[in-house]
C-alpha cells in the first residue's frame, strides 16, 4: 500500500511550472497510490470556487481525472486556500477534511494537520487565522466581486 501526502505547493499563475508538475504527477506516478492527501496550501491564494482563473481550472481538471480512478483523495485547508469549498470538492471529487483530523493510514491512526494552528507564539497570526476561518467572515468575502477578492488576496501576501 502506498499513501501519498502533498502540501504547500502554493500553485500560482505566475509560476506555471508548479501546476504542470502536479498535473504530470497526477497523470502518472500518483496513479499507483492507495490514497492521496493534500494537506493545505495547494494554491498560493484561493479567492473562491467561482474564480475563473484558467491556471486553477487546469489543476481542478487534473484532480477530476485522478479521482475518477477511484483513488481516495482528501484535502485539508491551509492558510492560503481556506476558501476552498463544496463546489471545488464536488467538481474534483476530493473529500474535504477538518483540521486537525485523525485518519487511519496504512493501518495506523495518524493525526493530520496543515500545522499553522500550532504556531501559537505568533499571536497576531492566530488572531488573523481565527478571523479568516470564521464562516460568517468567509461568506462576507465570497459575496464580494472576484476582482475585489483578488485585490484582497494580493494585499494579504
* pLDDT confidence bin for 79, thresholds 50/70/90: very high
Query: pLDDT at residue 97 above 70?
Result: yes
Q: What is the CATH number of the domain that holds 67?
A: 3.60.21
Residue-wise pLDDT for 113-133, tens only, equals 999 999 999 999 999 999 999
Sort strands 101-105 and 108-112 into parallel, antiparallel or unpaired. Answer: antiparallel
Residue 50 has pLDDT above 90, yes or no: yes
- pLDDT (0 to 100) of residue 157: 67
pLDDT of residue 67: 98
Count of domains for the chain? 1
Residue-number span of the structural domain to which 139 is assigned: 3-156
Q: Please give the C-alpha separations between residue 110 and each of 2, 25, 40, in angstroms, as whole numbers.
A: 15, 24, 16
* Segment 126-151 mean pLDDT: 97
List, in sequence order, the alpha helices (H) in 68-133. 86-92, 123-132
Dihedral pair phi/psi, residue 134, rounded to 5°: -75, 125
The band of 156, judged by pLDDT with boundaries at 50, 70 and 90, is confident
pLDDT at 145: 98
Average pLDDT of the segment spanning 5-28: 97
**3-state helix vs strand vs coil in the chain, percent to 5:** 45, 15, 40
Amino acid at each position: 500500500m502506498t499513501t501519498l501526502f502533498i502540501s504547500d505547493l502554493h500553485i500560482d499563475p505566475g509560476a506555471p511550472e508548479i501546476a504542470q508538475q502536479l498535473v504530470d504527477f497526477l497523470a502518472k506516478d500518483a496513479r499507483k497510490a492507495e490514497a492521496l492527501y493534500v494537506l493545505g496550501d495547494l494554491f498560493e491564494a484561493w479567492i473562491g470556487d467561482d474564480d475563473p482563473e484558467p491556471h486553477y481550472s487546469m489543476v481542478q481538471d487534473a484532480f477530476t481525472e485522478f479521482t475518477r480512478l477511484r483513488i481516495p483523495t482528501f484535502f485539508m485547508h491551509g492558510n492560503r486556500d481556506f476558501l476552498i469549498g463544496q463546489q471545488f470538492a464536488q467538481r474534483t471529487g476530493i473529500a474535504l477534511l477538518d483540521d486537525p483530523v485523525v485518519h487511519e493510514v496504512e493501518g495506523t491512526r495518524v493525526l493530520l494537520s496543515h500545522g499553522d494552528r500550532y504556531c501559537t507564539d505568533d499571536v497576531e497570526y492566530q488572531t488573523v487565522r481565527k478571523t479568516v476561518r470564521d464562516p460568517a467572515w468567509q461568506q462576507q468575502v465570497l459575496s464580494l466581486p472576484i476582482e475585489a477578492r483578488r485585490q484582497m488576496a494580493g494585499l494579504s501576501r
